[in-house]
Chains A and B, each alone.
Chain A
Amino acid sequence: GAGVSQTPSNKVTEKGKYVELRCDPISGHTALYWYRQSLGQGPEFLIYFQGTGAADDSGLPNDRFFAVRPEGSVSTLKIQRTERGDSAVYLCASSLYRNNEQFFGPGTRLTVL
């Protein structure tokens, strides 16, 4: 595609529910990143994929958060037992290789009631 796309653009859920957020990177980009951005803050790194493998998941806040990229393209960020503190904009980015310019998607705004 022309750019990184993310679905849904907005997600409202209730505390305790499970959510999945999807990212479609730019075709051919081997590196994919997930970030979380709270209001008034900069993006905070969650996880980085090189191909199909999670090369760095040091930013995941706890074991309720998990992400996959089974075929080295589309990635899904999964959050179990959502909490109100999980409310944020979740941003995905891709780059041709690591350390190249990152291209960001429009984000998914997650609201946990």
Chain B
Amino acid sequence: SQQGEEDPQALSIQEGENATMNCSYKTSINNLQWYRQNSGRGLVHLILIRSNEREKHSGRLRVTLDTSKKSSSLLITASRAADTASYFCATEDYSGNTPLVFGKGTRLSVIA
């Protein structure tokens, strides 16, 4: 079963614009992670935010976490054509003893 639900399912923007993707989940978590996937193959880990953190930055990426709303957002600033990919959130539950649960992903297209 999949816990995370990304929103929107697909997003198309112009190069240079910011892209925001949201993730909602259902249970208490230990951490939430964002991954990127190109062409339906291997995933690349982008960022991990723990349940006691509210915001985290990595380069052009900004992730927020609101545990009261069970939601997270991924912001990519100044997008580039190379950012075109699918983005998935994945949650690890509070026990840390269960598998990562991935959402269905947001398909981002950045148009040059």
A residues bordering B, Cβ < 8 Å?
A: 4, 33, 35, 37, 39-45, 48, 56, 58-59, 89, 91, 93, 98-99, 101-107
Contacts and interface: CB of A to CB of B under 8 A. Distances in A.
B99 interface: yes
B102 A42 contact: yes
Contact of A45 (B43, B96, B99): B99
A44 B41 contact: no
Nearest to A108: B41
A44 B103 CA distance: 9
- Chain A contact residues: helix, strand, loop or mixed: loop
A102 B100 contact: yes
A105 B42 contact: yes
Given A43-B43, A104-B43, A48 B104 contact: no
Interface of B: 2, 4, 30, 33, 35, 40-45, 48, 88, 90, 92, 96, 98-105
A48 B99 contact: yes
A43 B48 contact: no
A58 B100 CA distance: 12
B2 A44 contact: yes
Given A42-B103, A43-B102, A45-B100, A37 B40 contact: yes
Contact of B43 (A40, A44, A91, A98): A91
